Amino acid sequence: MRLTLHTDYALRALMFAAAKGGALSTIAEIVERFGISRGHVMKVVHRLGQKGYLETIRGKKGGIRLARRPGQINIGAVVRDMEEELAVLGCLEGEGYCRIEQCCVLKSALRDATNAFLSTLDGYTLEDLTRPQRALARLLGIEAHSAPFSR
């Protein structure tokens, strides 16, 4: 049971942008600091833009930054927006997967379990994830003078 790398990188990109506060981040920084694939990060940043989590400032001194305050970015929502497939078994995708689907109790058990997973993440915002602000900035090599976004 694994979330995709897209979701992984999306969460890291958002945490990086939040740790930067009001300052702009670049894709190159995110790629370099986390040591992750540039191609994936570009796709993920594009998608986070489409979904209204990040905004892109164009030009020579451009970059990306959060489009909303970290306290207004819900982690359960980010996971739902980034995962292409939240059906943990094929039977939750649509009809015709399994012979017993008409009376299957397992199907509703799996639906409840998935909802419990997502509900737990609904209890966190990006602000919660970036609360150890100084430690996070230090580990990410972000300068201390970057003004926090929401504080």
Please state the closest distance from residue 142 (CB atom) to a second copy, in A: 11
Q: How many CB atoms lie within 10 A of CB 17?
A: 29
Cβ closer to a second copy: 62 or 101? 101
Q: Which residues in 60-119 contact a second copy (CB under 8 A)?
A: 75, 83, 85-90, 98-100, 102-106, 109-110, 112-114, 116-119
Q: Is 27 in the site for a second copy (CB under 8 A)?
A: no
Candidate ranges 21-29, 41-49, 55-63, 136-144; the one touching a second copy (CB under 8 A): 136-144
- Count of beta carbons in the 10 Å neighbourhood of residue 45: 23
For a second copy, the closer CB: 8 or 55: 8
Binding a second copy (rule: CB under 8 A), the pick from 136, 146, 148, 150 is 136
Does position 28 bind a second copy by CB under 8 A? no
Q: E strand or H helix at 75, and its extent?
A: helix 75-82
Q: Which residue in the set 6, 8, 51, 68 belongs to the binding site for a second copy (CB under 8 A)?
A: 8
Amino acid (1-letter code) at residue 7: T
CB 65 within 8 A of CB 24: yes
Tell me: does residue 128 bind a second copy (CB under 8 A).
yes
Q: Inter-axis angle of helices 5-19 and 27-34, to 10 degrees?
A: 110
Q: C-alpha distances in angstroms, 112 versus 83, 93, 109?
A: 18, 15, 5
How far lies 95's CA from each of 92, 98, 100, 114, in Å?
Answer: 8, 8, 11, 18
Chain residues binding a second copy by CB under 8 A are 1-3, 7-8, 11-12, 15, 33-35, 75, 83, 85-90, 98-100, 102-106, 109-110, 112-114, 116-121, 123-124, 128-132, 135-136, 139-140
